[in-house]
Amino acid sequence: MTEVEETRRESEASRGDFQEVIDLLRKHQLVEQVVHRQDMPRHDLVEQLVHKQHLAELQKKLDAMHPADVARLLEALPLNQRLLVWDLVKAERDGEILLEVSDAVRESLIQSMDEAELRAAAQTLDTDELADLAPDLPPQVIEEVMLSLPAEERARLQSALSYAEDSVGALMDFDIITVREDVKLEVVMRYLRRLDEFPDQTDKLFVVDRTGTLKGVLPIKRLLLHDPATVVKDVMEQDIVTLRPEDKARDAASAFERYDLVTAPVVSADNKIVGRLTVDAVVDYIRERSEAEVLGLGGLEEEEDLFAPVIKSVKNRWAWLAINLVTAFIASRVIGIFEGTIAQLTALAALMPIVAGIGGNSGNQTITMIVRALALGQITRENAKKLFLKEIAVALVNGVIWGAVVGLFAFAIYHSVSLGVVMMAAMILNLLLAAVMGVLIPLIRYRLGADPAAGSSVMITAITDSGGFFIFLGLATLFLT
């Protein structure tokens, strides 16, 4: 069986388990309703037995599911069913499942747990995992957990919590294997055999001296393929990619993509190894950042639980809706300025949305490309001007082509050459406006330290709507009345 086929089978099995749990929940709810309505002897006992039977079956299914699949299930359930399932999850799995669920759902689960449960969940996690969960836990729980850690792990946790959320230090883990450069490969092999298990994603060992200074890396394949009598120094790689804890996570993600890395050492200013960054942490970061950008483009302030309380969802969405309302008023006033022109040529009212709609779509395409380029670090001071001119050229060509199309459409419907020319000119000018603002909006927000994706779609739509109406109706006023 190929790896692709195995992955497909695992995915299908996961979907099957997910649906089976949903069906069990539905069956449990239905049977409980039926039993509750029945008038029978010892009703309470019967109801309790039915309840326990279904919950036992549900718990057995949950125990067999991967933590990531349980997390996905919890995210898809309304709050009452979510808490029912969460109560059935074994306590020793709470920590790893809390790491897998979205931030919004994690908040609802943590609110349902007491301090003792939270403390027990946190104590099952490694230091780097605990650092990921710590910001969502009550301060007193974190304090108690830190006091229970050995001094070395406590120092690591404090160090991890001191780094910015989007830095390498916040993503790195401390589970590393180090070896000395002056030992033979057979000594390394004996040392590895004494370990209980390898850290996840281990593709290389880190070679250090007596002070912990990084000297190079020993890939596992070199360890296995070379003569056991060979000294580590003779086969290790010295030209390696290293990261610093304060480096931006997006820069590290670019390095992992560029150099096809599985792991990379994280070193201090004096080149002492402090941890490592793994590809799974990078993938998680990229996924979370991509989700945040998608939400930002839609004007959402933060990730939202599908089944969050109505008031909380309203608060998450109101800010950009309010801005959108203001811009809609501006667009309406732009139209109001040209009421006389529209009254004389009623065809303008039917054609206006075409100019505005195409401009908004074009602007959103430009913004999407610019936001992606910023995320990948592809835009610099040197190439920004060329990129700007290129987008202007693209808008001009698209404007001429699609302007001609809508101009011919206007002529065919209303039999007016001048109206068709005005329509074409308005389309060209609005696409140029969309290109200019599509580049400037994310770049300006990036320069100001804000998320370039946040609300960009709302802003570009507002500008192209108001600008499109003004350009089209202004040209019509000048040349058609």
Q: What is the pLDDT of residues 50-93, one digit of tens each?
A: 567 767 888 888 888 889 899 988 988 888 889 989 998 988 99
Percent of the chain at pLDDT exceeding 70:
89
Burial (0-12, 13-18, 19+ Cβ within 10 Å), 310: exposed
> How many C-alpha atoms does 266 have within 13 Å on its Cβ side?
23
Burial (0-12, 13-18, 19+ Cβ within 10 Å), 347: middle
Answer yes or no: are the C-beta atoms of 351 and 430 closer than 8 Å.
no
d(CA 451, CA 457): 13
| Angle, helices 417-447/347-375, rounded to nearest 10 degrees | 30
Q: Is the pTM of this model over 0.85?
A: no
What's the rounded mean pLDDT across residues 446-475? 88
d(CA 415, CA 347): 11
Q: Taking the mean position of all CA atoms in its chain, how far away is CA 52?
A: 39
Answer yes or no: are the C-beta atoms of 74 and 85 closer than 8 Å.
yes
Which of 164-173, 192-201, 246-255, 336-345 is least confident? 336-345
pLDDT digit string (tens) for 27-48?
A: 766 655 555 555 545 545 545 6
What's the rounded mean pLDDT across residues 239-263? 94
Q: Cα dihedral sign for 112, 55, 91, 288?
A: negative
Sorted by where each starts, the structural domains of the chain and their CATH numbers stand as: 2-166 (1.25.60.10), 178-298 (3.10.580.10), 310-480 (1.10.357.20)
- Whether 4 shows a pLDDT value over 50: the answer reads no
Answer yes or no: are the C-beta atoms of 226 and 208 closer than 8 Å.
no
- Whether 94 shows a pLDDT value over 50: the answer reads yes
Quote the pLDDT of residue 242: 97
d(CA 295, CA 385): 29
Answer yes or no: are the C-beta atoms of 465 and 332 closer than 8 Å.
no
Which of 8-22, 113-127, 161-175 is least confident? 8-22
Quote the pLDDT of residue 167: 94
**Residue 225: which pLDDT band, with cuts at 50, 70 and 90?**
very high
User: Chain-wide mean pLDDT for the chain?
Assistant: 86
pLDDT digit string (tens) for 14-30?
A: 566 677 777 777 776 66
What's the rounded mean pLDDT across residues 246-271? 94
- The contacts of residue 144 (CB under 8 Å, 6+ apart) are 115, 119
